[in-house]
A and B are shown apart, each in its own frame.
Chain A
Amino acid sequence: DYLTPGKMFPTYNPATGEQVCEVQEADKADVDKAVQAARLAFSLGSVWRKMDASERGRLLSKLADLVERDSVYLATIESLNSGKPFLPTLFVDLQGTIKTLRYFAGYADKIHGTSIPMDGEYLTFTRYEPIGVCGQIIPWNFPLMMTAWKLGPALACGNTVILKPAEQTPLTCLYIAALVKEAGFPPGVVNILPGFGPTAGAAITSHMGIDKVAFTGSTEVGKLIQEAAGKSNLKRVTLELGGKNPNIIFADADLDLAVEQAHQGVFFNAGQCCTAGSRIFVEEPIYEEFVRRSVERAKRRIVGSPFDPTTEQGPQISREQQNRVLEYIQSGISEGAKLECGGKALGQNGFFIEPTVFSNVRDDMRIAKEEIFGPVQQIMKFKTIEEVIERANNTDYGLAGAVFTTNINKAMTISTAMQAGTVWINCFNALSTQCPFGGYKMSGNGRELGESGLREYSEVKTITMKLVAKNS
């Protein structure tokens, strides 16, 4: 149910830089209202609390059907608002969104506690209860998918939700709000508030009436959120943050496969992925050849309008991001990395950047240590497996990693040694809703997706009842 319009803020098409429309802006007062609604919807005896778990699943399933029904429209708006190429958005983002909702729809009535043989004359069992009112703050790089990743497990477990989409990309999330209502979720269960981090976002993270906050975004903001949670009501916190993900290529790898996967691994979504394989370690014997092929591939990458079906790469999300990436490229050049191709902004309108490749990158360069979040590929050289493991792990991040090799022993060794929440073997960005995803170290805490995703949205209650006489 929509609140009366107050403050508005603009949202843009990053392919042209033009304003698409204005959107209502939520601030602290609106967050308070949303918390009230969500808290009411969560009260004992409410429609949502009394609903069969299987029925919660039915509603999520219905939402998935509606997203599927409107997928072309949603993909169009997503492309317009975020600059993501239309066809991949339709075939990857929308499918990922639908599948995630369906997956968690299926879990709603399968969240099992246990009955426990404890010592003494007692019957004990656990209930997995919803946590309560969950604040969810999502980023602009995959607006729809991130919405599904957040709503899916939260609603499957029976929570109520206050979700703030990124200020750059509010449109598809607002449309989802309409579908949530159409699907038949009770009022107050899902509340969508477009707004800015420092106002609406901060209000959510420090709210005394919110029981949990889930955030996907930068490590820098993630730290602020953890602090705010501690300072307010110790709300539960899960964070999916940045990465500087190592992609290790051994000399015995299938070179064509490795080059293509490493290319897509860093350039996908114009480099705007927390999983971007932005440190590519190539074993010395194949290094030169690998660089040569990667440069050739990058030069072939088609940058253009998201609605052109041949486009592989759209614009960066904003002028601000574009400038940031260009600044990193400059730092790479000035720190002595070799600029193999690209390096400049592209075109007059919008926020495009040429696919850029650096070779001879040293581990201590800024482009090797910091998350660029743009179409910039770093290729480094390594000699031994022990050395590359150490260098790959030498980072505060730990989101993902990959290894390309045909040797089973190397694959097992690397995948065990890598300090990363997801390790890919002979593939990259292979994500699916059944698999837990999340970071080691400063790439975050907690896991999303898979059964693990449910644990983060449940509170476990142990109930112990005295028996007259226990029997096994």
Chain B
Amino acid sequence: DSRRGEELRTTENVHVFKSRLKTHLFSLADVNKAVKAARDAFRFGSPWRRMDASHRGLLLSKLADAIERNSAYLAELETLDNGKPYAVAYTVDLPNVVKCLRYYAGWADKWEGKTIPIDGDFFCYTRHEPVGVCGQIIPWNFPLLMQAWKLGPALATGNTVVMKVAEQTPLTALFVANLIKEVGFPEGVVNILPGMGPSAGAAIARHMDVDKVAFTVGHLIQQASGSSNLKKVTLELGGKSPNIVMADANMAEAVEQAHLALFFNQGQCCCAGSRTYVQADIYDEFVERSAERAERRVVGDPFDLRTEQGPQVDQEQFNKILGYISTGKKEGARLVCGGGVASDRGYFIQPTVFGDVQDDMIIAREEIFGPVMQILKFKTMEEVIERANDSKYGLAAAVFTKDIDKAHYVSNGLRAGTVWINCYDVFGVQAPFGGYKASGNGRELGEYGLEGYTEVKTVTIKVPQKNS
């Protein structure tokens, strides 16, 4: 109850609670315990290994049901811990968590190997086996959703899991851990640890008895894998995603979508459309309308249902973003609106728009992860494809146009794992998501999401006489 009302109280309460929690954060020893439990739950002949695949699916389905039952509470907890508006946590994050688990529940008994007509008197087939003990390290920007994206495919395929949740946002994952036990997953199948990246996260990445690590944020993981046991690595990393608006686009829609593409979740999305390329003919009007929209963005207490934008997740992010804004000003970008702190308490930043941004500016190259929009000008389609691809990142991209040929030409040309046409941030658990280049490797979601959690075993049996 003291949570409702002033953002002041909200932030301070969370702050105090969290620092108390941090003193109880697990040390290296507990990572070992968790890996041991996961390894034991994965042993040949264990209840988890002997379980019908369809029953694994049923357990995931029950977990989805349990989370759905607790949606209101979980959304509150998520907002308290992360700062995202409650209305969004309840209507977007929670339903998508439930859908993700239900989707993967359905895959458990459908992930089939093949029988293969090889040469010779042999019968050959593949088995899709689980990889084993999977380390999963998840971020703070979508705590519950990222947990579901990781648990869904890993458990559907029969792995056991050691999950380190972000130190900034451990609360909802811990509640879900209880639900996992309640719905009946065998002991040791899922192990959830709050911990710090450099200690617990690194311990998992280095651990000789972890078969795979899936990580959202950070390239050191790959090095750690190489120097330990060559564990499999899948990574979902950052982005500086280009959002291309052609002159023939529906202006009102493009402005609104570009706005949401950047500002959603306080700008804390790996796929944020943080380079908005607008064709010369409509550039000035687009910048003006974007500034007007940004000025209208309601910043406030996340528990106020009118709020569109809550605080950034912590002091560190807050400082970093303000640093980028200052850099942008210094580099000569035109500050069209915002640019400062939105409140004298908490980590609130004004929705900020920069115009006349050049490709070589730091704000055009580095991931800001905050409510700061960059709008750049371009002339031709070929030019903008080249400029859009000129980034170490390649997570997502979009193009707004009515022209069918332009839409396909541009989307074919963009080196990005997801390309949106006349929309942005459209996700479906059925559709794979992941990055080209330094935005990561592997795909999450969809059927593709199962691949990273599967070891393929080929079995070849000698037969007296092969017949087709």
Identify the A interface with B (CB < 8 A): 53-54, 57-58, 61, 99, 102-103, 105-110, 112, 123, 408-409, 412-413, 416-417, 433-434, 451, 465, 467-471
Contacts and interface: CB of A to CB of B under 8 A. Distances in A.
27 contacts: A53-B430, A54-B103, A57-B102, A58-B102, A61-B102, A102-B57, A102-B61, A103-B110, A106-B57, A106-B107, A106-B109, A109-B106, A110-B106, A110-B430, A409-B463, A412-B464, A413-B464, A416-B123, A417-B467, A433-B54, A434-B53, A434-B110, A451-B110, A467-B405, A467-B412, A468-B405, A471-B412
B408 A465 contact: yes
Interface string B95-113: 0000100110111111010
Nearest to B57: A106
Nearest to A123: B408
Nearest to A57: B106
A467 B408 contact: yes
A469 B54 contact: no
A468 B412 CA distance: 11
A290 to B, nearest CB: 25
A468 B411 CA distance: 12
Contacts of A465: 404, 408
Contacts of A112: 447
What is the interface of chain B mostly: helix, strand, loop, or mixed?
helix
Given A106-B106, A107-B106, A467-B409, 5 more contacts: A102-B54, A107-B110, A123-B408, A413-B464, A471-B413
A110 B447 contact: yes
B249 interface: no
A106 B465 contact: no
B322 interface: no
A435 to B, nearest CB: 10
A412 B405 CA distance: 54
Contacts of A416: 123, 463, 466-467
Contact of B102 (A54, A434, A468): A54
Contacts of A408: 461
A63 B413 CA distance: 45
Interface residues of B, number: 31
Nearest to B466: A416
Which 3 A/B pairs are nearest by Cβ-Cβ distance?
Answer: A106-B106, A412-B463, A468-B405
Nearest to A434: B109
Contacts of B408: 123, 465, 467-468
A61 B68 CA distance: 15
A404 B412 CA distance: 56
A96 to B, nearest CB: 12
Contacts of A409: 463-464
Contacts of B107: 106, 110
Contacts of B105: 106
Contacts of A53: 430
Given A61-B61, A106-B110, A451-B110, A434 B467 contact: no
Contacts of B102: 54, 57-58, 61
A469 B404 CA distance: 12
Given A54-B103, A112-B447, A468-B405, A451 B463 contact: no
Contacts of B123: 412, 416
Nearest to A467: B408
B58 interface: yes
Contact of B430 (A58, A105, A109, A451): A109
Nearest to B463: A412
Contact of A451 (B53, B112, B464): B112
